[in-house]
Structure 1
């Protein structure tokens, strides 16, 4: 989970640097292709023999991958990395609260939400489109968690993720041809988009699939509250966005929330193993 969250935000910051040349659509297109190229040889996905109950989450992920990535990067281009990722976090936060039956999980999710608010110090904005795109990404991310967990229980290894990534890349081929015919990419923009694809798609998708086989959905949802932290740090280091005192305070609250959840789950796992 830690690998997924760090890699995702560093990749997003790298991809944002290519926006002036190829825009969010161009970055997302290359990201989809890179993900398929990396995961397909590893997992050897096959479309033959898939059952109906396996096809449903795969098709769902094809839609979610496209909507989640395009809406998030559109939001990043309009309202900035930290704010976009923070709003996107509402998706897994809702999953964490809705799927929990324990007070401590709900309390930790609320603490993480407070940390997110303190971190970003949100105020009035006129960019309704940017906010709407971030909220759409949040919805897609919540659905992604549930679909990925479901698919991980139906297909072994990374076959489900690789199959969905391969189909997503195929869907994006005509979109990419039309887009790059108008927006000519430079070598550097392609390099940045490829790095984004590796760090924000290939690595997180694989890590998430493996993690969701081992941890409850609510723990995964709460742990993803680290993403605004990494987004703020990536924006500071790679996009030269300085952090204010309230942002450091928000980071502390979010880390505390995740420490509480992780420590409790690890202790429960150790007790189970001991028995």
Structure 2
């Protein structure tokens, strides 16, 4: 597609709007999915998401997995592990500590990857800024849900592992075939758990609807938007747009789930978003890698 035919070329505002729509869809999907937690459980909702993700990505990539080598399968299997672990830990954390808090803590994963890939002095300031933001948001104490906070931290570590492994898969497997097969493997691993839940629990029809909507909003819609916008905007703008995810999660949680975040918590979320923005603005080595891009954008388009 040439620049004259692109509706986004030279219009960064429109590109940012599409990135924001992607982030809003992702967090809205998580909010809708949380409505099914009480009966379908977070694991069941994640299984539904994984199935939707695998269908969408395999339809787009049409992977020829029967041609994969042993080295390719090893990388793809590891990516599938991080993919399943990231979403399972995040949704379990959302169930305990709320959407805004869980997503903000999870976002420390890609932020850590960005910070550790640089040795500039200002990145230490960004790290301290993010740490201060999380402390303000969670204010850990005797009454804190330590398990929920731990699950969010596990989601952050899995997201960091997902980004690093995604780079390895990108080098070994052409296009997005590796990511597509990884989602297929992760969904295959999650489906038996969902079947066991269905077998032992009477689940109302609306829970299935919530899980299906979560899969569409949190996977299909964001991936389609990201795939379009990544062709026409800089990786820097994409990364900055994705930085808004914690803020969108907090807003969606407050408006639709009636989650309460005090002024210190909102300040903490803003500090984490600001820290990520400052880190990206100083990254001179940002560059395109086909349809995937460096730093946290590597793992943002497919979550």
Give the TM interval when normalised to the shorter protein: 0.7 to 0.9
Deviation of 1:145 after TM superposition, in Å, equals 1.2
Do 1:22 and 1:184's aligned partners in 2 also have CA atoms closer than 8 Å? no
Between 1:133-142 and 1:100-109, the stretch displaced more is 100-109
CA distance in 1, matches of 2:173, 2:230: 13
- Long gaps (5+) in structure 1: 270-275
- How many residue pairs are counted as aligned between the two chains? 269
Between 1:169-178 and 1:249-258, the stretch displaced more is 249-258
CA distance in 2, matches of 1:103, 1:222: 21
1:237 aligns with 2:216: no
- Determine the structure 2 residue equivalent to 1:24: 42
Q: How far does the alpha carbon of each residue in 1:75-116 deviate from its partner, in whole angstroms, 9 at most, with x for none?
A: 221222223223323322332222222223343343233333
- Determine the structure 2 residue equivalent to 1:272: none
- Determine the structure 1 residue equivalent to 2:89: 71
Between 1:32-41 and 1:180-189, the stretch displaced more is 180-189
Deviation of 1:58 after TM superposition, in Å, equals 0.8
CA distance in 2, matches of 1:112, 1:3: 24
Deviation of 1:250 after TM superposition, in Å, equals 3.0
- Determine the structure 1 residue equivalent to 2:190: 172
1:192 aligns with 2:210: yes
CA distance in 2, matches of 1:53, 1:138: 26
1:33 aligns with 2:51: yes
1:268–1:136 distance in 2 versus 1, CA, 3 Å: closer
Please point out which of 125, 135, 154 is paired with 1:107: 125
1:139 aligns with 2:178: no
1:54 aligns with 2:64: no
- Quick check: which one's helix share is greater? 1
- Determine the structure 2 residue equivalent to 1:8: 26
1:88 aligns with 2:106: yes
Instruction: Output the TM-score relative to the length of structure 1.
Output: 0.80
SS at match of 2:172: coil
Deviation of 1:65 after TM superposition, in Å, equals 1.9
SS at match of 1:143: helix
- Determine the structure 2 residue equivalent to 1:250: 268
- Determine the structure 2 residue equivalent to 1:125: 143
Do 2:50 and 2:183's aligned partners in 1 also have CA atoms closer than 8 Å? yes
RMSD of Structure 2 on Structure 1 (CA): 3.6
SS at match of 1:241: coil
- Long gaps (5+) in structure 2: 1-18, 288-303
Deviation of 1:27 after TM superposition, in Å, equals 0.6
1:265–1:199 distance in 2 versus 1, CA, 3 Å: farther
Do 1:112 and 1:222's aligned partners in 2 also have CA atoms closer than 8 Å? no
Deviation of 1:59 after TM superposition, in Å, equals 0.1
